[in-house]
Each structure stands twice: as C-alpha cells, then as structure tokens.
C-alpha cells in the first residue's frame, strides 16, 4: 500500500528486525520518557528466564511492529475491496496514510505513562488517590475522597 521510508532498524528477540521511521525515533523515542521504559519490567519472568528481555521498551517496539502489520493487512483488504465495497477518491490514500501514522504513534507510546509495578499497585494507587475533580461525590467512585 504505502511505506514510511528512512527508518532505523531494531533487532528484537521475538519479531526479528523492526524498522521504525527515523522521525519517530528522533521525536518520540530519543527522550527520557520513552527511554525509561528500558528499566520498567513488563513481567516478572526474568527471575525464571534470566536472559529473557521483558521490559516495556521491547514490548512497545513489538506492539509497534504488530500494529504496523495489522494496519497494513487491513489496508490491503480494503484495496482488494472483496468484502467492503467502499468507493474512494484519490484523497483516500492520504487519509489512510495519516491514520496509519497516528495509529503507529499510539502503538509506540501506549506504555509511556506506566510506572514500575503499575498494574500490581493499581488498587493501592486508587485507594490512596484524591479525586481529580472536586464537586459532587459519586458514592460508586473508587476515587472518592475519604474525609
């Protein structure tokens, strides 16, 4: 369909070589927020498999790679138009290219906000959090302020 040229290649132990656009690397990955994912464990399996790499950096690259394959397969199915019967004009390629880029950015950045052990500690964080919005109290809200 269409590809993004000028890429940087990463070697992944699961997916092999992953090509990431250099513009993504320079603007999204080469900063302290994304790089800290190298030190955040995805799972606790390193104890059982010491050479296994389960950090969120590698995970995010894998999600990017699989997302890229999924969106390309979807767009390929659209172009064959066997099932969809979608009529389009010449602008549709640009529309889908922009949406592919946005989707791939979301794939790459989906874990940037995670803290270490974030899923394990979610219940504690919710219990100890103050509500973000002051006002009416919702009795069913887990973030309810306990005065």
SS3 10: strand
Whether 116 contacts 41, CB under 8 Å: yes
> How far from chain centre, in Å, is Cα 138?
32
Q: What is the pLDDT of residues 23-78, one digit of tens each?
A: 999 999 999 999 999 988 777 666 677 777 678 899 999 999 999 999 998 888 77
CB atoms within 10 A of CB 65: 22
pLDDT digits (tens, 9 = 90+) for 103-128: 999 999 998 987 666 666 667 767 77
**Chain centre to alpha carbon of residue 83:** 29
Beta bridge partners of 34: none
* Cβ(94)–Cβ(47) below 8 Å: no
Report how far apart, in Å, the C-alpha atoms of 19 and of each of 7, 66, 73, 134 are. Answer: 6, 12, 17, 45
């Amino acid at each position: 369909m269409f590809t993004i040229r000028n890429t940087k290649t990463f070697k992944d132990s699961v997916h092999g070589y992953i090509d990431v656009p250099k513009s993504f690397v320079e603007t999204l990955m080469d900063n302290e927020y994304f790089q800290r994912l190298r030190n955040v464990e995805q799972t606790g399996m390193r104890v059982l498999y010491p050479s296994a790499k389960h950090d969120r950096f590698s995970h995010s690259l894998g999600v990017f790679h699989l997302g890229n394959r999924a969106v390309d397969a979807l767009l390929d199915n659209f172009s064959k138009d066997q099932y969809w019967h979608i009529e389009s004009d010449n602008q549709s390629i640009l529309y889908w290219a922009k949406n592919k880029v946005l989707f791939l950015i979301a794939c790459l950045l989906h874990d940037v906000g995670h803290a270490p052990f974030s899923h394990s500690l979610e219940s504690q964080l919710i219990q100890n959090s103050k509500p973000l919005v002051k006002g009416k109290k919702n009795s069913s809200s887990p973030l309810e302020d306990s005065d």
